[in-house]
Structure 1
Amino acid sequence: MGILKDLRTSSRGAILVAIAAAAVGIIYGYDSSNIGGALDFISADFGITSEAEKGLLTSYVIFGEIFGAIVGGAFANRYGRKLMMVFVAATFTLFSLFSGLAWDVPSLAIARVLLGVAIGISIVVVPMYVAESAPTKIRGALLVMYQVATVFGIILGYLLAWGLAPSGNWRVMLGAAAVPGLVITLMLLRSPDTPRWYMMQGRRDDAVRVLGQIDPQADPSRELAVVEAELAEGRGRPSVLQGLGEMLRRPYLRAAFFVVMLGFFVQITGINAIVYYSPQIIKAMGFDSGDHMAIFGLPALVQVIGLIAVFVSMSLVDRMGRRPVLLTGIGIMVAAGAIMVVTFMFGAAGQDPTDVRLDGGFVALGFLGLVLFNVGFTFGFGALVWVYAGETFPSHLRGLGSSTMLTSDLVANFIVGVAFLPLLKSTGGAGVFAILGGLAIVAFLFVLKFAPETKGRPLDDISVYWKNGGKWPADVTGLIGVNDAERAGTGDAGGRA
């Protein structure tokens, strides 16, 4: 596989970037699935009976994620990408323990909101860290690596829920997340910050040192001259209001619209309904709640197959391109939605939608639909959201742009988290998956119209696309600075930010 060859020939510094990104992704994924495994046991302990209350309990973490995503970019600019990732891992450890020790619904809600703040910061900072550190030839793959780790964390959460299901010990399911959190905190302490952040702080010597570690073949003088020119153009670190003002006018208005809508489509198409509520979906297909192997083992298997799709995406994103990978993934999600509609419409015909008993053939078809839905997401949206979050804006707007994109993502996530179970109960599987499939079609058309192809483009040159009205010019030299033009003319493959 080409990406493995590229990684093997990359420097130790570039590999550390990949490890740092992957480490934080594990805790994000673990938290996404462990609440799904614990939900029924928590509900039984605390007397939660309505589907709306269960959806709200699952979604408390998203309140915190939205706040974390809003402030994450500004904090990363002020305190550094590395320090914020260490903060994320350490606070994740603390609040995971708090979740496991919760004594009632309000205390659990507080713990999960605080946990969400840490996660929200992480999903902004990690793409920035990777985009600003990785060599161009593997930048897309390393950004996808975060999704690989996220899916791996989801699988761990389901497997632990499966193992603990006979005892119903939801406290260990939630509190055990502190273990990877602590390990990852210690790992991150050894990682450097990004060359671009050092330059934003006026620490040129540190930038030169880290740049040499990441890419020994790079010319530090030329690379950092490009960074200096871009920082000067962007007036260093604008305030949040100044940054928003710049994003909401030309040339970056189109970019702002793109990231807000892409972030929204990533979640409104329903992937976290699958992650959070796979056990409930499996039960809706007719499995008994006491069949722990089916209720927790099948969701884990769905994610394992999805993990394979992420590796395929990672191998193609820097070769096949961003747009083809993304459109292929969304197309698979549309097909999966159609399969789920057929499964519940015909397999549950004449049955009470709240008490479905599918026969074996339709159960297999429904499982195939879940697998394809997850494969399509992890191959497309799941991989590419991190790529576009890290690539779309120039350095002085990258933090704020990532925050904006991922805040939109989390708002949609909250809508899905709260609405999915009541919709599943009221409309049955056919109705809810028809809605998700329709949204996936709209998302496909949006990406077809607005998503740029950034494969092989140095990071510092991507703003050219937005400055040229959403098109790549035949000659970029008229729209970039002297140092960029020199680099474009020499075919340099640098472009770290």
Structure 2
Amino acid sequence: MPSLSWRNVIVSGMGVLTDGYNLYSIALTSFFISSSFSFSKVELGLLVAGSYYGAALAALVFGLFADRLGRKSLYGLDVAIMAVGAGLQGLSQSYLELFLARLILGVGIGADYVLSPVIVAENAEGKNRGKMMVITFAVMWGLGAVIAAFVEQVTLALGLPNSLVWRIVLSAGALPALSVFYLRRRIYETLLFISRVRPEHRDVEKIERELGRPIPKKRDEVSFLKRLTSSALFIVAASILWLLYDMYSSTFAIYGPITIASNLGISPIMFTYVAQFLAGIPGQLICISLIDRIGRKPLIILGYAGVAVWLMAYSLLLVDPRVFGLSATSLSSSSLVGEAALLGFTFYLLNYLFSAIGPASIIGSAMIAPELTPTKVRATGQAITVSVDRLATALNITAFPLLLSHYGLAALVGFYAMIALVSSLITLLVIPETKGKELEIPLFQKGS
């Protein structure tokens, strides 16, 4: 595996870590923000979803420019915008200022969710591309969530006031973004963009010198619009899969440390650590070891089957603990207690494990669209999936507090279980297997 590929994994992964940090940090600090500003449930939903609205707006613009100008020309701008948005959060003096800061943060995240998956995919060998994308996205996102929990734990241990805790935790999200700004501005253009779209690019000689061989070049002469329309089915399918995945995944990521942790009687920080170290990381390691051997589809379908089973079990437990041989008193004021709380957390962790084995590590790693669309329209195709997903998820996150108060956690968890089953069917019927396949033309010689 050329060092060029792994360099892109590290540089791209830090942007994803920033996203994981910022998404999880708002979940951990939303309670503390209320000590500084007053807001309704709808306003809380809008605040939490602010970065998603920003991402939905920015993704399409960055995707179109990335296909026209190249990936390198925009890389670094995304993390700079993320850093500005994250830093402004800590300086906000009103609810409106904080919401606008999160919109700016989302613009950077949306740009990164277009550029990073495309860059990693276009510089990777077919035989290792799956594991590289899982490491870049699923692993680094989870690491960002753990770091967010750790930063908050430190601020609380220092006895800082709530009004300062949330400002420090949120603004610290600027640091991982800034750490890779220089490196992102120094990367080469991707191998596939050069070979299929811009063979005369000025980076050609530098890359060929590093690789020690010529880059195969075969310019794509088909029109942009024709390539885009011929990829429409896969772009739509990828958008729907990511949308459905994030309907439950992002909701759990944002509200889980508060809503589910409270339901189970544990602290948000402990909830984060246990979920990541006992379920998230083990699931990711399983996915990394299998994705380029057995393929994407089996892991997505197996993972979603597990998600459906364990979320439905959790839902039934919330409805009536007696289904599992426990007393009715195990459910007290919509919260599980005693053995029921332990069983509920076990169900949630098993759901998290199976999600990490397949859906979270593959769909959540933005792997579908980049592997199924031609280089000429790859960034635009990815941008469409990001915009659709972020906008739909933003609306879902905004509405969740109201839905929770109206329907209850049991009904919502059961609904998410059904989403898993629908997603399995879409994967089975529409998505082709891409295991070991080059995206368009082989870029690496055997043994390179």
Q: TM-score, normalised by structure 2?
A: 0.89
- Residue of structure 1 aligned with 2:269, choices 285, 296, 315: 296
Partner of 1:4 in structure 2?
none
Shift of 1:54: 1.5
In 2, the alpha carbon distance for the partners of 1:85 and 1:177 equals 18
- CA pair 411-378 structure 1, distance change in 2 beyond 3 A: farther
The 1:66–1:337 alpha-carbon spacing in structure 2 relative to 1, beyond 3 Å, is same
Q: Would you say the 8 A contact 2:125–2:438 is kept in 1?
A: no
Residues 139 and 281, structure 2, Cα contact 8 Å, conserved in 1: yes
Runs (4+) of structure 1 moved beyond 6 Å? Answer: 348-354, 491-494
In the other structure, the counterpart of 1:33 is 24
Does the aligned pair in 2 maintain the 1:64–1:114 contact within 8 Å? yes
Aligned-pair distance for 1:102?
0.4
Kindly indicate whether residue 21 of structure 2 is the aligned counterpart of residue 24 of structure 1.
no
Identify which range, 69-78 or 124-133, moves more after superposition.
Answer: 69-78
CA distance 1:211–1:426, change in 2 (3 Å): farther
Give, as a single letter, the amino acid of the residue that structure 2 aligns with 1:310: Q
Does the 8 Å CA contact 1:337/1:434 hold for their aligned counterparts?
Answer: yes
Task: Provide the residue aligned with 1:276 in structure 2.
Answer: 254
Residue of structure 2 in register with 1:323 after alignment: 297
The CA deviation at 1:401 is: 0.7
2-structure distance, mates of 1:370, 1:51: 25
**Counterpart in the other structure of 1:407:** 387
Residue 116 of structure 1 is matched in structure 2 by 106
**Residue 439 of structure 2 is aligned to residue 459 of structure 1:** yes
Deviation, structure 1 residue 316: 1.3
Counterpart amino acid of 1:313? C
The residue type equivalent to 1:35 in the other structure is I
- Following the alignment from structure 1 to structure 2, what is the Cα–Cα distance between the partners of residues 83 and 14? 18
Q: Which amino acid aligns with 2:29?
A: A
- State the match for 2:228 in structure 1: 247
Please say if residues 136 and 493 of structure 1, whose CA atoms lie closer than 8 Å, have aligned partners that are also in contact: no
Q: Which has the larger displacement, 113-122 or 136-145?
A: 136-145
Match for residue 209 of structure 1? Answer: 206
Find the aligned partners of 2:29 and 2:42 in 1 and give their Cα distance.
16
Alignment partner, residue 361 of structure 2? 383
Which residue does 2:214 correspond to in 1? 220
Deviations along 1:349-377, one digit per CA (max 9) or x if unpaired, are: 97899943422211112212222232232
Query: For the structure 1 residues 77 and 109, does the alpha-carbon distance in structure 2 shift closer, same or farther, using more than 3 Å as the test?
Result: same
Aligned equivalent of 1:440? 420
Partner of 1:162: 153
1:150 shift after superposition = 1.0
The residue number in structure 2 matching 1:84 is: 74
CA separation in 2, counterparts of 1:273 and 1:322?
24
Q: 1:415 to 1:457 in 2, by over 3 A?
A: same
Conserved 8 A contact 1:347-1:359:
no
State whether structure 2 residue 54 is matched by structure 1 residue 57: no
Structure 2 residue 178 is matched with structure 1 residue 182: yes
**Matches of 2:261 and 2:289, distance apart in 1:** 35
Which one-letter code corresponds to 2:297 in the other structure?
Answer: R
Q: Deviation of residue 416 (structure 1)?
A: 2.5
Distance verdict in 2 for CA 1:182–1:345, change over 3 Å: same
Counterparts in 2 of 1:341 and 1:377: CA distance versus 1, 3 Å: same
Match of 2:369, as an amino acid?
A
Q: Tell me, in whole angstroms, the C-alpha distance in 2 between the residues paired with 1:18 and 1:444.
A: 28
Partner residue in 2 for 1:472: none
1:43 match: 34
Select between 369-378 and 322-331 the one with higher mean Cα deviation: 369-378
* Cα distance in 2 for residues equivalent to 1:329 and 1:347: 25
Matches within 5 A, 1:110-149: 110-145=100-135, 146-149=137-140
Match of 2:169 among 170, 173, 177: 173
Match among 333, 340, 352 for residue 362 of structure 1: 340
Q: CA deviation at 1:454?
A: 0.8
Which runs of 5 or more structure 1 residues have no equivalent in the other structure? 1-9, 461-483
Superposed CA offset, 1:362-395 (max 9, x none): 1112212222232232322222222213211111
Q: 1:162 to 1:66 in 2, by over 3 A?
A: same
Q: Specify the alignment match of 2:318 in structure 1.
A: 344
Q: State how far apart, in whole Å, the 2-side matches of 1:370 and 1:83 are.
A: 42
1:14 aligns with 2:1: no
199-208 or 143-152, which moves further after superposition?
199-208
The residue identity in structure 2 corresponding to 1:419 is: A
User: Residues 94, 204 of structure 1: CA spacing in aligned structure 2 closer, same or farther, 3 A cutoff?
Assistant: closer
Question: Whose relative contact order is higher, 1 or 2, with alpha carbons under 8 Å and at least 6 apart?
Answer: 2
Give the Cα–Cα distance (whole angstroms) in 1 for the partners of residues 202 and 96 of structure 2: 49
Q: Look up the equivalent residue of 1:363 and give its one-letter code.
A: A
- Structure 2 distance, partners of 1:114, 1:414, is 15
Letter in 2 for 1:311: L
Q: Distance in 2 between matches of 1:350 and 1:45?
A: 39
Q: 1:194 aligns with which of 184, 190, 193?
A: 190
CA separation in 2, counterparts of 1:197 and 1:253?
Answer: 20
Matches within 5 A, 1:465-484: none
1:186 alignment partner AA: Y
Secondary structure in 2 matching 1:273: helix
Structure 1 pair 68/303, CA: closer, same or farther in 2 (3 Å)?
A: farther
Using the TM superposition, give the Cα deviation of residue 61 of structure 1 relative to its aligned residue in structure 2, in angstroms: 1.2
2:59–2:114 CA contact under 8 A, matched in 1:
yes
State percent identity of aligned pairs.
Answer: 24
User: Unaligned 5+ residue runs, structure 2?
Assistant: none
Cα offset, 1:159, TM superposition:
2.1
What is the identity, as a one-letter code, of the residue corresponding to 2:334?
Answer: V
Helix, strand or coil: the match of 2:192? Answer: helix
- Distance 1:252-1:103 versus aligned 2 partners, 3 A rule: same
Shift of 1:286: 5.3
Query: Residues of 1 paired with 2:209 and 2:293: CA distance?
Result: 26
TM-score by length of 1: 0.81
- C-alpha displacement of 1:53: 2.3
Q: Which amino acid aligns with 2:15?
A: V
The count of aligned residue pairs is: 434
Q: Distance in 2 between matches of 1:52 and 1:13?
A: 46
- Aligned pair 1:261/2:240, yes or no? yes
